[in-house]
Amino acid sequence: MLSYIIRRILMAIPLLLGITIVSFAIMKLAPGDPASLMMDPTISPEDKARFMERYGLNDPIHIQYLKWLGAMLQGDFGTSLIRKGVPVIEMIMNRMPNTILLMVVSTLLAMLISIPFGVISATRPYSKLDYTVTVTSFLGVATPNFFLGLILIMVFAVQNNLFPTGGVATLNAPFSLWDRIHHLIMPAFVLAAADMAGLTRYTRSSMMEVIKQDYMRTARAKGFKENKVIYKHGLRNGLIPVITIFGLMIPSFIGGAVIVEKIFTWPGIGLLFVDSAFQRDYPVLMGLTVISAVFVVIGNLIADILYAIFDPRIEY
């Protein structure tokens, strides 16, 4: 297993390198420059040139990339162009716990709801419950998270005042676990909604295939109770395709977090990414891109490991 993990990590290095090259090139080729945003429009050309020279913005793009890559490999992502003197890594680390909390809760919420409903739907095919779960799943997949977030804010925050409209905690209030949970419920649900719906459909489809297998009929013929047949003999094999989807949920959560954090003003790296994009704060954007890519690689690695654990036919 250890050698398998090492191989997967080594295979991810060229991928991460390619992501940084493409991202760096896109940001540098984008119209506008940070100097125009940071400086007074009436500033003299000499002062602007000194600023560009100070931050190395006059160097060829490949030289800028190599300088950035060398510093990044030493743990230095540079300093923010907009928030002068603030290290990029400090800005990211300050926001990271909030995003991790949101992603972990959303993942658990999606798993805890989608897998049981998918199994129940598969064991009662074409029943009223199955149709209800199916229709709800399709609605969840079809509804954009920004639209769902705005609807929930309007209904539960503005009209009924049941939940806060945004933020991670009540301003100027002492720390309260319930207050944090209260602020977390709506963003976590919105972020989990689309993946929750997709996982329910995948679980249902996979379990319906497993239920038809010979070993399931053999287990029933031996006199095992139906719940034991389903949850002990069938569920493990039925979850194998779902585990593959789990790896794909990480990029989905990262992309969704950008929108959800902006809607709910959740102070995480998604909100930081949006703000930095509007401000053309390239060092922060590159740092966030690398961190997000690492998360995606880790998610796929976890999926591969779980796949090998659940499916003994996999050789590693």
How many whole angstroms separate alpha carbon 5 and alpha carbon 3?
5
Residue 295, pLDDT > 80, answer yes
Q: Which residue has the higher pLDDT, 139 or 232?
A: 139
Percent of the chain, pLDDT > 90? 15
How many whole angstroms separate alpha carbon 254 and alpha carbon 246?
13
pLDDT digits (tens, 9 = 90+) for 206-230: 888 888 888 888 888 888 887 788 8
Residue 154, pLDDT > 90, answer yes
Token pair for 256: 């969704």
Residue 312, pLDDT > 80, answer no
24: nearest Cα among 48, 49, 56: 56
pLDDT digits (tens, 9 = 90+) for 7-53: 878 888 888 889 889 988 888 777 766 666 666 666 777 777 777 77
> Averaged over 261-279, what is the pLDDT?
89
Token pair for 145: 């998270």
pLDDT digits (tens, 9 = 90+) for 45-89: 777 777 777 767 777 888 888 888 888 888 888 888 777 778 999
Can you say whether the dihedral through the CA atoms of 46, 86, 73, 98 is positive or negative? negative
Residue 155, pLDDT > 90, answer yes
- For residue 152, name the pLDDT band (cuts at 50, 70, 90): very high
CB 166, CB 265: distance < 8 Å: yes
> Averaged over 261-269, what is the pLDDT?
91
